[in-house]
Amino acid sequence: MKTRAAVAWQAGQPLSIETLDLAGPRAGEVLIEVKATGICHTDYYTLSGADPEGIFPAVLGHEGAGVVVDVGPGVTSVRKDDHVIPLYTPECRHCKFCLSRKTNLCQLIRGTQGKGLMPDASSRFSLDGKPVFHYMGTSTFSNYIVVPEIAVAKVRPDAPFDKICYIGCGVTTGVGAVIFTAKMEAGANVVVFGLGGIGLNVIQAAKMVGADKIIGVDINPAREAMARQFGMTHFINPKEVENVVDAIVQLTDGGADYSFECVGNTTLMRQALECTHKGWGRSIIIGVAEAGAEISTRPFQLVTGRKWEGSAFGGARGRTDVPKIVDWYMEGKLRIDELITHRLKLEDINEGFDLMKRGESIRSVVLY
């Protein structure tokens, strides 16, 4: 079949709208009509050329929601007309990683996914007989996609696609980092570096679990108002204080219990670690830094009890946890609507990237 898609032909160039050929689902695969997709900073990161796994030409996008159109042989967990969210972190439930119960990083198909291919090492997308690569196993910047069954979360049918697409990455990443990775307790003091599409979800989850001080750090002053609505109690603009770490340590009587880096900047990652409390502070890296970037600190920071950790997809097990997060939204426990600041047609997808670069959007959502 044919599918309309925004294709990244090469790094640093705007996406171009094409009509691609899409081969049907093979054994264990699912054909999905994507109804809506968010634009995450990670799409921009890969398009910029900084991602060592960035392969071109590719169909980017990993924050979608849609409907199952067809399934390949052997697929049992979803069927035609099911409402679904494609998962860039699949959940096979039988690889060593899934069985460990210690991580959400299912590795069954990670090798081929990182090469822009389906598990059988081929692409379903092509143009004029030449392959176009998949991205993060999802490629939600295409109206129709084929994904492995283990990368599909079935969700309730009454949830609006134009909102729950954001659960495909940003909401789950931010909320999950608090609930699944940090397992944060009520009364904790929290610092969030970067108040964009991820950081604001960290803030709303910190408030949800009953955090005490929730300190937001961002160089964009326009972020303050929205972050306060979501539960931020204190705002620090690094341009307005002499030393961010000192300012946080003072505000929190010795340091934060938890910090989250939601920018992808290694200088901030160091500050995020060093502003946590001696003896028990935990700093969780969510931001994705460019190829070749390294983090550093004095080992003494760790010797004296601070912990440096990371979180991918919020530590969520996609097929198990994503339907629950959709329920939390539908039950009014999580807010999404206000975070979707822009709605675009596929033809205007590059405008979504420009809005992000200019710091004008939280999330732009493309509607098919």
Q: Which residues are designated catalytic?
A: 40-42, 62-63, 92, 95, 98, 106, 110, 169, 363
The site for Zn ion, by CB under 5 A, has a size of 3
- Binding to ligand AHE (CB under 6 A) within 17-76 occurs at 40, 42, 51-53
To which residue do tokens 């709208």 refer?
A: 17
To which residue do tokens 């502003």 refer?
A: 275
Token duo for residue 338: 């206000």
- Binding to ligand AHE (CB under 6 A) within 162-221 occurs at 169
What is the distance, to the nearest Å, from the Cα of residue 209 to the centroid of all Cα atoms in its chain?
21
Q: What share of the chain is helix, strand, coil (3-state, %, to 5)?
A: 30, 25, 45
The site for ligand AHE, by CB under 6 A, has a size of 12
Determine how many CB atoms are found less than 10 A away from the CB of residue 296: 10
Which of ligand AHE, ligand NAD, Zn ion, none does residue 286 bind to, with CB < 5 to 8 Å depending on kind? ligand NAD
Which of Zn ion, ligand AHE, ligand NAD, none does residue 265 bind to, with CB < 5 to 8 Å depending on kind? ligand NAD
Q: Do residues 257 and 282 lie in contact, with contact meaning Cβ atoms separated by under 8 Å?
A: yes
Measured distance between the N- and C-terminal CA atoms of the chain, rounded to whole angstroms = 17
Q: Does 355 bind Zn ion (CB under 5 A)?
A: no
Give the pairing of strands 130-132 and 125-127: antiparallel
Q: Do residues 30 and 149 lie in contact, with contact meaning Cβ atoms separated by under 8 Å?
A: yes
Which of ligand NAD, ligand AHE, Zn ion, none does residue 53 bind to, with CB < 5 to 8 Å depending on kind? ligand AHE
Q: Does 42 bind Zn ion (CB under 5 A)?
A: yes
Task: Identify the residue among 8, 30, 31, 40 touching Zn ion (CB under 5 A).
Answer: 40
Residue of 75, 13, 65 whose CA lies nearest to 38: 65
Q: Does 223 bind ligand NAD (CB under 6 A)?
A: yes
Residue number, nearest CB to ligand AHE: 42
Helices and strands in the chain, H and E counts: 12, 17
Residue 70 exposure: Cα atoms within 13 Å on the Cβ side = 13
Q: Does 88 bind ligand NAD (CB under 6 A)?
A: no
Q: Does 139 bind ligand AHE (CB under 6 A)?
A: no
Task: Identify the residue among 193, 235, 260, 329 touching ligand NAD (CB under 6 A).
Answer: 193
List contacts with ligand AHE (CB under 6 A).
40, 42, 51-53, 89, 105, 110, 169, 288, 312-313
Q: Which residues contact ligand NAD by CB under 6 A?
A: 40-42, 45, 169-170, 173, 193-199, 217-220, 223, 238, 262-265, 268, 286-288, 311-313, 356, 359
